Amino acid sequence: MDNRKEYFESFADDWDKNFTAEDLEFLSFLIDTFNLKEGDRVVDLGCGTGVLFDIVRRRVGDSGMIVGVDFSSRMAHKALQNFPFRNCFAIDADVQQLPLQSDYFHLAVSFASFAHFAHPDRVISEVARVLKPGAPFHIIHLLGSRELARHHHHAGGPVAHDVLPSAEKMNEMFRSAGFNGIDIVDQHGLYHASGLKK
Ligand SMILES: C[S@@+](CC[C@H](N)C(=O)[O-])C[C@H]1O[C@@H](n2cnc3c(N)ncnc32)[C@H](O)[C@@H]1O
């Protein structure tokens, strides 16, 4: 049993307060660089209360969709409450075993969540399965890897030791799951790893 699940359940009601207007503007800017198109299907791993939903749904339109996955049912439920649109879905499930069809999504994103996944290699393999060939997976944190490790250490509890894999390990996980075009930016205020499914 992953005790992070209960930990995140306990934060669901107030989670939305974590984001400043500046964060949302930066996320919006970053997601613009993904070149989403009308009709695109996006999967959001560890979606929380759906902070990316509105940004993505406006870009993919009614013919596209965003599907958030989170193992905290309260987070997933809140995401649906926050964004009751017909192109927004939230599923209460573990990202290490996605209840989603293969070769279906045009883009996968994991925002502020990847460092919390107990088995990141399994997540990357599952993402490879559900993405269409040529589709990207973006892993984003609004802190560099060292800052993030310090942040989690201060938070304590079940996330105290949650860190991002080294660049070498991240490259290896992407490659062995069948991604190429791997790129890792790790700097003050931003961690962004991405790859394209072959
Ligand atoms: C720090 S929060 C970020 C949530 C959201 N992306 C945001 O930025 O507001 C991390 C999220 O990942 C979820 N999570 C952690 N491990 C998970 C797993 N194995 N499967 C599904 N969700 C997971 C937690 O429940 C939590 O909602």
pLDDT, tens digit, for every residue of 56-78? Answer: 999 999 999 999 999 999 999 99
Q: Mean pLDDT for the chain?
A: 97
Kind of pairing between the strands at 179-187 and 107-111:
unpaired
Q: What angle do CA 187, 185, 172 make, to 5 degrees?
A: 130
In short, whether 95's Cβ falls inside 6 Å of ligand 1 is yes
- Which of helix, strand or coil describes residue 33? coil
Q: How many CB atoms lie within 10 A of CB 102?
A: 12
- pLDDT at residue 2, rounded to an integer: 81
pLDDT tier, 189 (very low <50, low <70, confident <90, very high otherwise): very high
The domains of the chain, with CATH numbers, are 4-10+35-197 (3.40.50.150)
Q: How many CB atoms lie within 10 A of CB 172?
A: 14
In short, whether 55's Cβ falls inside 6 Å of ligand 1 is no
Q: Are 126 and 59 in contact (CB under 8 A)?
A: no
Atom of ligand 1 minimally distant from the CA of 117 = 16
pTM of the model: 0.98
In short, whether 73's Cβ falls inside 6 Å of ligand 1 is no
Residue 125 has pLDDT above 90, yes or no: yes
Phi, psi (rounded to 5 degrees) for 161: -110, 15
Average pLDDT over every residue of 145-158: 97
Residue 1 has pLDDT above 80, yes or no: no
Pocket test for ligand 1, best of 8, 140, 159 (most atoms within 8 A of CB): 8
Atom of ligand 1 minimally distant from the CA of 119 = 19
* Cα–Cα distance, 138 to 156 (Å, whole number): 26
CA of 165 to the centre of ligand 1 (A): 17
In short, whether 162's Cβ falls inside 6 Å of ligand 1 is no
Q: Minimal CA–CA distance to 54: which of 76, 87, 23, 78?
A: 87
Average pLDDT over every residue of 4-20: 94
Could you give the percent of the chain with pLDDT greater than 70?
A: 99
Q: Minimal CA–CA distance to 36: which of 127, 103, 132, 106?
A: 106
Pocket test for ligand 1, best of 15, 71, 73 (most atoms within 8 A of CB): 71
* Cα–Cα distance, 90 to 85 (Å, whole number): 11
Task: List the alpha helices (DSSP H) in 83-166.
Answer: 120-130, 145-155
Query: Residue 110: enclosing H or E segment and its boundaries?
Result: strand 107-111
Atom of ligand 1 minimally distant from the CA of 93 = 21
Atom of ligand 1 minimally distant from the CA of 159 = 1
Q: Minimal CA–CA distance to 138: which of 57, 66, 42, 41?
A: 42
What are the structure tokens assigned to 191, written together? 């961690």
